[in-house]
A and B are shown apart, each in its own frame.
Chain A
Amino acid sequence: MMKDKIKIFLDSDLLEKYLLGTTNTQESLQVERYIAIYPEVLETYNELQDNLETFAKIHATKAPDGLKNKILARIKSENAGRRQFFRYAIAASFIAIMFASASYFFWNQNQNLQQENIIVNNKIESLKADMREQLEDVRNQFIVLNNPQTKRYNIKGNNNAKELKAIAYINPVKKLSYINVKNLPNLPEDQSFQMWAEVNGEMINLGIIDKAVGTEKLLALPYADKAVSYITIEPKGGNNTPTVENIVAKIDY
């Protein structure tokens, strides 16, 4: 059975065609498979190769004298062309890489600058807003302090904070009021002074009075007819509602 298979294969011209390189891809694969599997086919193939070489050598003809040099010169120029091509290819890829990295670098920088630009613009906007606010504040302070209708109240702390001294400026015409805390007694680390105002029956948190702010700072108070302001001692960080028993000062205006 296997013998038959080999015989059929050898009787076909496939091996001879393969020898001359005229088989198609599929045929070549088949022949190579037979050569690999059957020693008999391999032997025949090797024999055919030897015979081909012998037969061709028998027909060898002296090639013209100059031909060798012509061929060698052509191979040389082929190589030179190839080398030159590679040189150009390397140069071209180098330039391409440079260009790409430069593009990336500039794109990246542009991106960073745009981001910075946005940040700077935002900062300018917030600075402007701050300045406007502070200017407004300063203008109001000026109005209050400079206005003859402004009333000045000296405030002293009660028994819980005797050293507390503050001056309130109230102007009922312009409806502006300020307080200037001159002196605050020392408090334990976990407590702080907090300012409140009762306006139209509503208690408003005016924030913590910070000692570090200094004695020159005027703190704006919300204005209302018959408003009352309180200073209380609260836990550090402030409280949501005033602790009534800890009231140290009361300002009516």
Chain B
Amino acid sequence: MNGLDAMSINSFKAYHCMSTLLEKHIVELLQERNEKAISLLYEHYGDTLYGVAKKVVRNEELAQDVLQESFVKIWKKSDSYDASKAKLFTWLFRITRNTAIDKLRSVNTKSDKEIQMDVSDVYNLGVDSIKPELMDVRENLERIEDKYQIVLEALFFYGMTQQEASEELDIPLGTIKSRLKIGLRELKKIYGSSMVLAFLLNLI
């Protein structure tokens, strides 16, 4: 292991530690029902959750509604969060994703047409308005080939089971499984380097 790698790993650990500290702080504020928690949550997870909402509903206005409703739910349910069962982000993600899916269903029952029109964007990755510190990740993401990307999206955003993804994407189940595994491995590589980068950027 060379020196740079060791440093990267250490700074990665430091970054990880910082983010868990922040997580703890936010959770404490939430449990005290301090409104500052929402402000902090928005600052640190707002764009990510907005991205999740947009991915699911594929419409900016709807995504804004979803984000608003999600934050209200987060606020109302804040005492039901159990840190021993899920990371803070996982909990936030579940609420946002479920809200987005509910929104999509209610809109779909109102009018099927509008949504149909947006379907063409499903796998379009908008290059606009990306957090600068994640630019590097974006570049790396492009290195994750589409075929892995699609499987990951199906799993994380659309909540498909591997079986469902196999049917939906017309790919054999075994292939789905192996692509998922490779995709996740690639993701981990990016995660490591990008977080070190983000940490270093934060230091500057």
Q: Which residues of A are at the interface with B, using a C-beta cutoff of 8 A?
A: 11, 13, 16-17, 19-22, 32, 46-47, 49-64, 67-68, 70-72, 74-76, 78-79
Contact = CB atoms under 8 A, between A and B. Distances in A.
Interface string B48-85: 11111011000010001001100110011000000001
B89 A51 contact: no
A56 B56 CA distance: 12
A61 B50 contact: yes
Contacts of B161: 13, 16-17
Interface stretch (B2-10, B103-111, B113-121, B129-137): B129-137
A75 B130 contact: no
Interface residues of B, number: 54
Contacts of A22: 159
Contact of B130 (A56, A61, A64, A79): A61
Given A60-B130, A74-B71, A52 B156 contact: yes
Contacts, number: 129
Contact of A55 (B64, B85, B130, B156): B156
B131 A21 contact: no
B71 A71 contact: yes
B98 A21 contact: yes
B97 A21 contact: yes
Given A22-B159, A51-B191, A75 B89 contact: no
Contact of A56 (B71, B93, B126, B177): B93
Interface of B: 35, 38-39, 42, 46-52, 54-55, 60, 64, 67-68, 71-72, 75-76, 85-87, 89-90, 93-94, 97-98, 125-126, 129-131, 134, 137-138, 141, 152, 155-157, 159, 161-163, 177, 184, 187-188, 190-191, 194
B68 A71 contact: yes
Given A21-B97, A52-B89, 5 more contacts: A32-B85, A49-B90, A51-B187, A55-B156, A67-B67
Contact of A51 (B52, B75, B137, B184): B184
Nearest to A35: B85
A75 B187 contact: no
A53 B94 CA distance: 11
11 contacts: A13-B163, A16-B162, A20-B94, A49-B87, A50-B188, A59-B51, A59-B157, A61-B54, A67-B68, A74-B71, A75-B72
Contacts of B89: 49, 52-53, 56
Contact of A63 (B39, B64, B98, B177): B64
Given A13-B163, A55-B187, A61 B71 contact: no
Contacts of B50: 60-63, 67
Contacts of B152: 55
Contacts of A70: 68
A67 B89 CA distance: 20
Nearest to B138: A58
B156 A56 contact: yes
A62 B130 contact: yes
Contacts of B129: 61-62
Nearest to A70: B68
